[in-house]
């Protein structure tokens, strides 16, 4: 009877008691209106135990959040099932000044930094709302919505909103594998907005190339920095890419060599994906003195007005297609298979 009354009070919107100080809880509710255990996402992250679930009620949560490596296996979920209903947002850019006069840098600009292995997110939006037009004094306009460095991470029905450097799909250290599965996600940006050295699969994603107003160069979809020893970098598969930008004004990617690292050899495959007219006929380009031709860039059976073939559009041989599926990218040495 007591359990029934407790459930009824929660459903009626009554405030939930927070766990005792120092204690971790398997299930934590965050709500801006006070009807949960906590009113901020970070407080909920701090309280939830490894392997626990953080349920977030609708609202825009203006805060910078961090999921440390010790919070393995946690799930963050929006309670309505609609990503647009729960928004975690902040607006730091790389060049934004801190109180001590220093700047955040690209990694430090992230609205959310997620380092835990086994992390799952569903029905949420992560946004970096930095507006470069409103801050002409800031020259370093990289503004990350999410930086990920974990392994065996799943993002399902999650939206990532930003402009430059929206999603930093990275790993915990150079030479460390970080597998990340983005299923049914929506991602938008303009310059290098999918970047990093993770093994990341974007499956059935909706990717929006934002218009910067240029008739010739509106931006770059990817900037992977895959390690030379890793055969699997970024895979975009079964997805659709949208854009209102000018025809032939967007690149599919360029090779990022952080700090001039010669062993960062980008690997990107875009397969069976609809591409808009905004994609350039020669869609890959050089970066910081490194030739795109030395990277591992391929397409396979893409469609739409922006699809094409030719000397500047390497195609994955059909005989190799079976080795470059979502399952192959994510399996690793432990046979992980979150694909469904």
List helix spans (H) across the chain.
2-11, 41-47, 105-108, 326-331
Mean pLDDT value of segment 6-29: 58
Average pLDDT, rounded, for the chain: 94
- Looking at residue 318, its pLDDT comes to 97
The CA-atom distances, in angstroms, between 124 and each of 82, 93, 112, 297 are 7, 21, 12, 31
Question: Which tokens belong to 7?
Answer: 């459930």
Query: How far is 6 from 206, CA to CA, in rounded Å?
Result: 40
Q: Which residues pair with 271 in a beta bridge?
A: 237, 300
- Looking at residue 2, its pLDDT comes to 35
Give the distance between the most distant pair of CA atoms in the chain: 72
Question: Which tokens belong to 219?
Answer: 């931006």
Spot the catalytic one: 89, 156, 192, 203. Answer: 192
- Looking at residue 38, its pLDDT comes to 98
Query: Can you tell me whether residue 58 is helix, strand or coil?
Result: coil
192 is catalytic: yes
Spot the catalytic one: 91, 156, 165, 190. Answer: 165
- Fold classification of 43-330 is Pectate Lyase C-like (2.160.20)
Question: Which tokens belong to 79?
Answer: 């309670």
Radius of gyration of the chain (CA): 21
Which H or E run includes 255?
A: none
Question: Which tokens belong to 277?
Answer: 């007219």
Query: How far is 74 from 44, CA to CA, in rounded Å?
Result: 11
The pLDDT > 90 percentage for the chain reads 92
What does the pLDDT look like over 19-50, one tens digit per residue? 555 567 899 999 999 999 999 999 999 999 99
Which H or E run includes 241?
A: strand 240-243
- Looking at residue 24, its pLDDT comes to 77
Nearest residue to 292 via CA among 304, 284, 282: 284
Whether 4 has a pLDDT exceeding 60, the answer reads no
- Looking at residue 18, its pLDDT comes to 59
Residue 287 burial (CB count, 10 A)? 19
**Whole-prediction pTM value?**
0.93
What does the pLDDT look like over 172-191, one tens digit per residue? 999 999 999 999 999 999 99
Residue 246 burial (CB count, 10 A)? 17
What does the pLDDT look like over 110-161, one tens digit per residue? 999 999 999 999 999 999 999 999 999 999 999 999 999 999 999 999 999 9
Nearest residue to 165 via CA among 184, 146, 186, 138: 146
Confidence of residue 52 (pLDDT cuts 50, 70, 90): very high
């Amino acid at each position: 009877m007591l359990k029934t009354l407790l459930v009824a009070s929660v459903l009626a919107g009554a405030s939930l008691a927070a766990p005792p100080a120092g204690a971790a809880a398997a299930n934590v509710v965050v709500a801006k209106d006070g009807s949960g255990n906590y009113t901020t996402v970070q407080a909920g992250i701090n309280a939830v135990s490894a392997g626990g679930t953080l349920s977030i009620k609708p609202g825009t949560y203006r805060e910078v959040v961090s999921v440390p490596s010790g919070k393995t296996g946690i799930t963050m979920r929006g309670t309505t099932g609609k990503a647009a209903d729960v928004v975690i947002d902040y607006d730091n850019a790389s060049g934004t000044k801190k109180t001590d006069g220093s700047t955040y840098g690209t990694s430090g600009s992230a609205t959310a930094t997620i380092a835990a292995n086994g992390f799952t997110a569903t029905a949420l939006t992560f946004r970096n709302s930095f507006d470069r037009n409103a801050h002409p004094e800031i020259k370093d306009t990289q503004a990350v919505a999410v930086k990920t460095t974990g392994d065996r991470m799943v993002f399902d029905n999650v939206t990532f909103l930003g402009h430059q450097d929206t999603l930093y799909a990275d790993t915990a250290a150079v030479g460390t594998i970080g597998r990340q599965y983005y299923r049914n996600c929506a991602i938008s940006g303009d310059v290098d907005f999918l970047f990093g050295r993770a093994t990341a699969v974007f499956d059935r994603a909706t990717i929006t190339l934002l218009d910067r107003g240029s008739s010739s160069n509106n931006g770059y979809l990817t900037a992977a920095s895959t390690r030379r020893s890793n055969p699997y970098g970024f895979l975009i598969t079964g997805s659709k890419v949208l854009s209102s930008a000018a025809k032939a004004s967007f690149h599919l990617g360029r090779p990022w060599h952080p700090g001039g690292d010669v062993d960062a050899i980008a690997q990107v495959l875009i397969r069976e994906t609809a591409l808009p007219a905004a994609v350039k006929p020669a869609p890959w380009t050089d970066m910081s003195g490194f030739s795109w031709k030395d990277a591992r860039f391929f397409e396979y059976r893409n469609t739409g007005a922006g699809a094409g073939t030719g000397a500047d559009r390497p195609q994955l041989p059909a005989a190799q297609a079976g080795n470059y599926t979502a399952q192959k990218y994510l399996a690793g040495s432990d046979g992980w298979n979150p694909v469904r």
